[in-house]
Amino acid sequence: MIIGILLALFFGRQLGAPLLHTVSWIENLSNEKYEEPFSKWKFNQKKRWRNKTKYSTYEELTQALSNLTSTLQRNSEERELLEKTREEWLTGVSHDLKTPLSVIKGYIVLLSSREYEWEQDKIRQFSRIMENRVEYMEQLIEDFNLTFQLKNDSIPIQFEQNNLVNILKDVLEQLYRLPESKNKMFSFESSKEQIILNMDTRYLKRAFENLIANCIKHNPPETNIKIFLHEDLSYPRQIRVVIKDDGVGMDQETIEHLFDRYYRGTSASSNNQGTGLGMAIARQIIIAHGGEIDIKSKPQLGTKYNITFPLCTNIEKIPK
């Protein structure tokens, strides 16, 4: 009887310890504590088992719990990141909408005041200013939505084969009409008439518009803006786009933070019509297309953007 009791205690301890450890582990997970509990016995201490084959079930259970712990921890970190991004989005929206709203409110107060009798020309002037501020707010909200969706991979990118040569020509033709483009020189060179890329035409156009517009709006008259497009057939085979200007350039701190949202802030003043999110959006769109972007710039020596995309395989010739 004594031997039986001792054997029961021995095997109860040997078999009960892993079960208690499992229960403790599951309890940690239920309390959002994503780690294996500390104890004298752990499943990963296989040297405790003299006959490992008898305890293969525990090893499988350990692996399953370990995988579950990793998955739950990763999901928790992603939720925290999403919440942080959402808070950042709301903070940015509330901050950047405050200035145009205050301008609109000021003109509304003037127009509604009984102390003044405004002439029609003055009323139209106030209305145009308010209209510009409303357009700015609409663009700002659209940019905030887009950068938020891109950052969280929640925007549906619709890929199709298209001719990147035509895309860049269309972008240049559109940007050439900007008032800031006056007295600036543009050139475009391509190694081929057709360079096919799997792309979402709408969003990729937006990325190149933002990059080239940055060269236009932040440089003085007589600035040369050049765009080069070619296929790099060396390994790895790539499509390379170079956007280059000989303008004012940027210092190292600006280069390091150029693609950070809110780095330069936004303003609704007439001197700055942008939302301050264009470069972040451009980079996110390029990355979503499997591309990379690199910047080289020095003060007074201009800026150079190098954008690369993986070269398409099994491409079909697109009619002109």
Chain centroid to CA 275: 16
**DSSP three-state, residue 303:** strand
How far does CA 132 lie from the centroid of its chain? 28
Q: Say whether pTM exceeds 0.85.
A: no
Domains in the chain, ordered, with CATH? Answer: 2-76 (no CATH), 90-151 (1.10.287), 161-310 (3.30.565.10)
pLDDT tens per residue across span 185-234 = 999 999 999 999 999 999 999 999 999 998 998 899 999 999 999 998 87
Q: What confidence category does residue 147 fall into, taking pLDDT thresholds of 50, 70 and 90?
A: confident
Backbone angles phi, psi at 194, to 5 degrees: -130, 125
Closest CA to 163 of 125, 197, 202, 119: 197
What's the pLDDT tens digit per position in 108-132?
Answer: 998 888 888 888 998 999 999 999 8
d(CA 174, CA 229): 18
How long is the chain? Answer: 320
Residues 40-50 have pLDDT tens digits of 555 444 444 44
CB of 202 closer than 8 Å to CB of 175: no
Pairing relationship of beta strands 303-310 and 292-297 according to DSSP bridges: antiparallel
